[in-house]
Amino acid sequence: MIVFREMRRRAKVLVAPVLGLALTGYFAYHLVEGDRGLRAWMRLTQELRTAKVALADVSTERARLERRASNMRSEHLDPDLLDSQVRRTLDFAAPDEIVIIQPAKPR
């Protein structure tokens, strides 16, 4: 009987610290590994950086295409640009021109 009382007293003393350590370990694990943990945050930060670089590239390309399109409008038609576009699209060449064929660039 005395042994059981002693075991019960020691269990009462140990339950709170063990439960506290288990709870702390649980939260520490999910702080690092959880859906919104540090690793997920680092992965999302890297994806955001990559997306910003892609956005900058696409914005530059769009600005370049808008500039070319504005040069083709009827109120501001650039004859040299129109001539080069027609020659490139329809494969036209003047009789006195020398044509150098280059391999097609992959898209």
| Whether residues 45 and 81 fall in one domain | yes
Asked whether residue 61 falls in the same domain as residue 82, the answer is yes
Are residues 41 and 87 both part of a single domain?
A: yes
Residues 11 and 47 reside in one and the same domain: no
pLDDT band at 2 (very low <50, low <70, confident <90, very high): confident
What is the average per-residue pLDDT within 75-99? 80
What is the band of 68 on the pLDDT scale with cuts at 50, 70, 90?
confident
Please give the mean pLDDT across all residues of the chain.
Answer: 87
Is 41 contained in some domain? yes
Sign of the C-alpha dihedral computed for residues 24, 29, 35 and 37 taken in this order? positive
**What was the pLDDT predicted at 42?**
95
On whether both 45 and 59 belong to a single domain, the answer is yes
42 shares a domain with 25: no
Residue 100 in domain: no
Same domain, 26 and 45: no
Task: Output the six-digit token pair for 17.
Answer: 């610290």
When pLDDT is cut at 50, 70 and 90, the band that residue 95 belongs to is confident
Q: Is 75 a member of any domain?
A: yes
The pLDDT of residue 99: 79
Q: What span, in angstroms and rounded, lies between the C-alpha atoms of 99 and 58?
A: 33
Clarify whether residues 49 and 5 are in a common domain.
Answer: no
Per-residue pLDDT, 49: 98
53, 22: one domain: no
Per-residue CA distances from 23 to 19, 29, 38 (Å): 6, 10, 19
38-67: average pLDDT: 96
Higher pLDDT, 106 or 21: 21
**What one-letter code names the amino acid at 11?**
A
Q: Which residues constitute the domain of residue 81? A: 36-91
Domains identified in the chain, total number: 2
The mean pLDDT value for 92-99 works out to 81
